Amino acid sequence: MRTRFAPSPTGDLHIGGVRTALFNYLLAKQQKGVFILRVEDTDVERSTQASIDVIMQGMTWLGLQWDEGPIHQMDRLDRYREISDELVASGHAYRCDCSPERLTLIREQQLLKKQKTRYDGQCRSRNIDASTPHVVRFKTPLEGDITFHDLIRGDITINNAELDDVVLVRQDGVPTYNFSVVVDDTDMKVTHVIRGDDHINNTPRQINIYNALGWNIPNYAHLPMILGGDGKRLSKRHGATNVLDYQKMGYLPAAVLNYLVRLGWSHGDQEIFTMQDMINDFDLKHISHSAAAINQEKLDWLNQHYMKELPSDELATLAKPFFENEGYDLSQGPDLNELVVLYVERAKTLAEMAKQCAYFYQTPDVDPEAADKLQTELAPKVLEEAKKQFSALEDWNPEAIKATIKSICEALGFKMGQVGPVLRVAITGTMKSPALDQTLCLLGKEKVLVRLM
């Protein structure tokens, strides 16, 4: 088995594309096959090196390592020219010198008549010299059907009368998508073409080209699209779509891959999949025919699961850049290994964890929603007694701190529900923090006493 991921470097690496890459990768690895990365960069005006870099970075971050490539289509122009010349010579393609103005006029007339817009075939029977500026068009059969078996959707039939004489090579010598992929997939011996269902209408056009060349046709599988949570086509209004945005937000590669494999595919009721699980269990027959919808809560749940599975030192290493991005001086805070363990149950991403830990490195501003805890008559008494007892505490550990808080309550005749919130807000600036004894221990005695002033 030989599969390929063939993104166009005209923008970000979106999660829909990453899911396609993942499915191709899994099938290749499952069958001890080859996974190819091909950069379809024939859209010269829109393709950029920055987008190519994003593709490489995203694939590398996720661990989807290709076996062959990256292969760039723009490095293969001579090969496309060779095959287009062959198609012209065999009568399966022809040169067309129709002007853009004529093509526009044809289209406008067809629209007025409520006809399907298509090339009218004027140059089909003309023998245009190669020295004349021209495009190369494929001579689509005027009759008959194209039927192919989709490994997800079953048999699909399209009548040739519905198809156009597509352009194979533009006037500048650059091939179009439908032509270049046929040549590439054949030269690269691709056995399975797994791509989005927006390409279903392209498949019969490509099969006609395969047939004209006498080449073997690969297996096709068209994946349903990914929708936003509102059921509409996924776009930036739904949040992050570029896979590197997920990296910046502090999601783990294992969580993103686990999340994507379950977008439109299932294996019983299983939700958690390691990479080896995916390779072992993935198949095309359990891919849904319906579009899959983004579920941010599921991704957050998976990411927290994988964070909790990591050893503390590994989690701390991954979290460190996010803490540094917040501007924290890590030398002025607690041991990061201990801190991430304290917060892994409270944070869904590494970036969220770093933000939640601000008060360990900076004097906090009191959350306006919690400020009333410091405005009560008992608050000054609690802070004064706490400073007195914590100053006298020699063993600064969670057990001793917990016992001291209990002692503060007893000394004042207050309940824990009255004392705890005052201490929490005064020391952390918020009502949202882990257990007080653990939090105060990691903060350190010096910082605690300063904030009780």
Distance, in Å, from the CA atom of 66 to the CA atom of 229, rounded to the nearest integer, reads 31
One-letter amino acid at 375 equals Q
CA distances from 191 to 153, 217, 283, 327 (A): 18, 8, 16, 50
Distance, in Å, from the CA atom of 54 to the CA atom of 47, rounded to the nearest integer, reads 12
Distance, in Å, from the CA atom of 306 to the CA atom of 292, rounded to the nearest integer, reads 23
Enter the tokens of residue 287.
């891919």
For the stretch 200-207, contacts whose Cβ atoms lie closer than 8 Å and that sit 24 or more positions apart, written own/partner, are 200/150, 200/156, 201/158, 202/177, 202/178, 203/148, 203/156, 204/146, 204/148, 204/158, 204/160, 204/163, 205/138, 205/140, 205/163, 205/166, 205/178, 206/178, 206/181, 206/182, 207/146, 207/148
CA nearest to 191, candidates 422, 425, 2 = 2
Distance, in Å, from the CA atom of 24 to the CA atom of 97, rounded to the nearest integer, reads 39
134: left (phi over 0), alpha (psi -120 to 50) or beta: beta
CA nearest to 226, candidates 278, 150, 301, 290 = 290
Q: Print burial letters for 102-140: b (CB count within 10 Å at least 16), e (below 16).
A: eeeebeeeeeeeeeeebbeeebeeeebeeeeebbbbbbb
Phi and psi for 285 in degrees, rounded to 5?
-70, -20
One-letter amino acid at 176 equals T
Enter the tokens of residue 88.
């012209």
The residues annotated as belonging to the active site are 236
Question: Among all chains, which residue has been given the structure tokens 């600064």?
Answer: 396
Enter the tokens of residue 306.
């994988």
